[in-house]
Amino acid sequence: MIFSVVIPVYNVKDYLPKCIDSVLAQDFEDYEVILIDDGSTDGESGAICDRYAAAHPERIRAIHKPNGGVGEARNVGIDAAQGEYLIFIDSDDYIAPGMFRVLADAVARFGSDIIGFGAALEANGVVVKELVDPLPTDRTFTLADTPELMQTMPSPWSRIWRRSLFLDSGVRYPARIWYEDLCTSVKLLALAKSAAFVPDILYYYVDRTNSITRNTNTARNAELFTAFDNLLDWYRENGLFERYYNELSRLAVDHVLLAASVRVLRVDPQSELLDRFQDYVQAQFPDYMENPYLQTLSRSHKLILRLLRQRKYRTVRMLFAVKDKLS
């Protein structure tokens, strides 16, 4: 079997059928689907999993477990899977027709441990942005020869992953924390013998108001420290921290200083997390402002970074308020 499709499920009764139907509509046969109901409480998501499993017993398995978060649910799927490659799909998203055939062709062509592809961001039923990593699609890469791979999308759904990467290394998604994808995907990049990319838009990420990027529970952004500590400790333990110091430093700037800071200050510009983000990156990477990768930041990101370093959080919030009104 080539593909095991792992779909963690939690309180998504309004979205789950479209997600599963997009999988069953594929013009490809060599795959299985594992639905992991992560203790849903909406009264229907678990039952939907069971109905699909009963209707397609040769294709779909439903696993029910107590709630432990999306990372733990993915781990259950990894251990239950039988396919050579894992395809992770969030249960409120859906995939493009022909996705599996495109990826099977890429497996035959490249044989890489990781194969990435394009995605589309959808809001209110409209595609508002395409997400495609700016890498050639005619060759394979390794993190050693192309360390810029660390700046590609870390989302589990933006790649397929050879299952043996997890089984042979013991790497798993941390349970019960946000940003579990960041600290896991970047480890797998270091473990992969090669990675490849196809340009096709194969995944539709549906932006919802309670996603991490929109959630107003700012306190949970503190879990980023746990996730990043997990990642940095792993790179140190495996003797890779110094080798990829600049890449990890840029990752901290992107995800801690820029993304997480903006996410929090949009809700609460007085949050104590904003100073903690600054202090964390400074402690882990004291010379991060000298990182040559920062030269590739856009002018707007350079401005935001400068304002954040000056702790002018209200100014940054005002800039985003203006941007939101104009968009």
Is residue 25 domain-shared with residue 158, that is, in the same domain?
yes
Same domain, 193 and 254: no
Closest to 136 (Cα-Cα) out of 203, 194, 198, 186: 198
Select from 155, 212, 213 the least CA-distant residue to 188: 155
Report, as an integer, the average pLDDT of 99-115: 98
Q: How confident is the model at residue 216 (pLDDT cuts 50, 70, 90)?
A: low
Mean pLDDT of 35-42: 98
Helix (H) or strand (E) holding 17: helix 16-24
In a domain, 276, yes or no: yes
| Structural domain includes residue 212 | no
Name the domain boundary from 179, 206, 233.
Answer: 206
User: Is residue 213 in some structural domain?
Assistant: no
Q: Which of 266, 176, 182 is nearest to 216 (CA)?
A: 266
Residue 274 in any domain: the answer is yes
Number of domains the chain contains = 2
Per-residue DSSP letter, 177: -
211 assigned to some structural domain: no
Predicted confidence (pLDDT) at residue 31 exceeds the cutoff of 90: yes
- What is the total residue count of the chain? 327
Q: Does 260 share its domain with 183?
A: no
Cα separation, 255 vs 248, whole angstroms: 10
Give yes or no: residues 189 and 254 share one domain.
no
Q: The domain that contains 9 carries what CATH number? A: 3.90.550.10
pLDDT for res 213: 43
Q: 147 and 276 share a domain?
A: no
* Tens-digit pLDDT profile for residues 148-168: 999 999 999 999 999 999 999
> What mean pLDDT is predicted for residues 207-218?
61
- Residues 257 and 162 placed together within one structural domain of the fold: no
pLDDT in tens, 280-327: 999 999 999 999 999 999 999 999 999 999 999 999 999 988 877 776
Q: Is the pLDDT of residue 192 over 60?
A: yes
What are 94's two structure tokens? Answer: 């859906």
Helix (H, G, I), strand (E, B) or coil at 204: strand
197 and 223 in a single domain? The answer is no
pLDDT tens digits for range 66-75: 999 999 999 9
| Arithmetic mean of pLDDT, 90-110 | 98
Q: Are residues 17 and 126 in the same domain?
A: yes
Same domain assignment for residues 46 and 187: yes
Q: Which two tokens stand for residue 268?
A: 């609460």
pLDDT band at 138 (very low <50, low <70, confident <90, very high): very high
Given this model, what pLDDT does residue 327 score? 64
Name the domain boundary from 149, 176, 206: 206
**Owning domain of residue 243:** 218-326
Beta-strand pair 85-88/3-9: parallel
Does residue 103 sit in the same domain as residue 226?
Answer: no
> Is residue 105 located within the same domain as residue 187?
yes
> Can you name the residues that pair with 118 across neighbouring β-strands?
201
Report the alpha-carbon distance of residue 218 to residue 240 in Å, rounded: 32
Residue 111 in domain: yes
Q: Which of 141, 174, 206 is the last residue of a domain?
A: 206
The answer to whether residues 171 and 245 belong to one domain is: no
Q: Does the reported pTM lie above 0.85?
A: yes
